[in-house]
């Protein structure tokens, strides 16, 4: 049976990937057979979500308090049905690190009008975090529809 995990990947796993993880989880709904998770290409273990990420997600009713960062590892990529990355550089990094997974690595912005990369808001003010959150939110309906069409067994 194919795996039921959607893995989001950014750099430090404290801003973009946890924000996307929690947004897709909500978009899919509590009855969904899909799980969401996140990791980072340069993450360390155990860091909470950045203050900015936590604050702008709380504004839309999502609590990142339980999030702890972790580096992306082969086992989690193998387990995932999809790995959704924030930038073309992340995609390239993932394809080098996990060449067998290349066909299941997707750019998040490919699920929203305009495409492009999702910039890193770390170190910027809340307006930048809000803009990044909203850019990611614009991709969630199409991403959720895509995920719901995947075969899970």
Q: How confident is the model at residue 3 (pLDDT cuts 50, 70, 90)?
A: confident
- Stretch 55-68: mean pLDDT, rounded? 98
Of how many residues is the chain composed? Answer: 153
- Comparing 52 with 113, which gets the higher pLDDT? 52
Taking the C-alpha atoms of residue 38 and residue 40, their distance in angstroms, rounded to an integer, is 7
pTM, to two decimals: 0.95
Residues linked to residue 5 through DSSP beta bridges, in sequence order:
35, 80
Task: Name the residue ranges covered by the structural domains of the chain.
Answer: 5-149
- Stretch 120-133: mean pLDDT, rounded? 96
- Stretch 132-146: mean pLDDT, rounded? 96
Q: How confident is the model at residue 6 (pLDDT cuts 50, 70, 90)?
A: very high
Question: Catalytic site residues?
Answer: 10, 16, 120
> Looking at residue 152, what is its pLDDT?
63
Taking the C-alpha atoms of residue 66 and residue 9, their distance in angstroms, rounded to an integer, is 17
Residues 9, 71: contact at Cβ < 8 Å? no
Lay out the sheet containing 105-107: strands in order across. Answer: 35-40, 5-10, 80-85, 105-107
Taking alpha carbons only, the member of 61, 77, 55, 75 closest to residue 8 is 77
**Fold observed for domain 5-149:** Rossmann fold (3.40.50)
- Stretch 34-42: mean pLDDT, rounded? 96
Chain-wide mean pLDDT for the chain? Answer: 95
Q: Is the pLDDT of residue 109 over 50?
A: yes
Q: How many CB atoms lie within 10 A of CB 46?
A: 8
Task: Calculate the alpha carbon distances from 137 to 3, 27, 140 in Å.
Answer: 24, 9, 5
> Looking at residue 1, what is its pLDDT?
36
User: What is the tens place of the pLDDT at every residue in 73-104?
Assistant: 999 999 999 999 999 999 999 999 999 999 99
Q: Is the pLDDT of residue 153 over 70?
A: no
Query: End-to-end distance of the chain based on CA atoms, in angstroms?
Result: 5
């Amino acid at each position: 049976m194919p795996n039921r995990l959607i893995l989001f990947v950014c750099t430090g796993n404290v801003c973009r990937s946890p924000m996307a993880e929690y947004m897709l989880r909500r978009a899919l709904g509590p009855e969904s057979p899909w799980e969401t998770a996140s990791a980072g290409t340069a993450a360390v273990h155990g860091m909470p979500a950045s203050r900015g990420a936590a604050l702008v997600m709380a504004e839309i009713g999502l609590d990142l308090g339980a999030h702890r960062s972790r580096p992306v590892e082969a086992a989690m990529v193998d387990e995932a049905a999809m790995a959704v990355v924030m930038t073309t550089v992340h995609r390239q990094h993932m394809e080098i690190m996990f060449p067998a997974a290349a066909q299941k690595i997707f750019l998040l912005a490919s699920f929203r009008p305009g495409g492009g990369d999702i910039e890193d808001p770390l170190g910027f003010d809340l307006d930048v975090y809000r803009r990044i959150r909203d850019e990611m939110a614009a991709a969630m309906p199409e991403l959720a529809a895509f995920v719901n069409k995947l075969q899970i067994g």
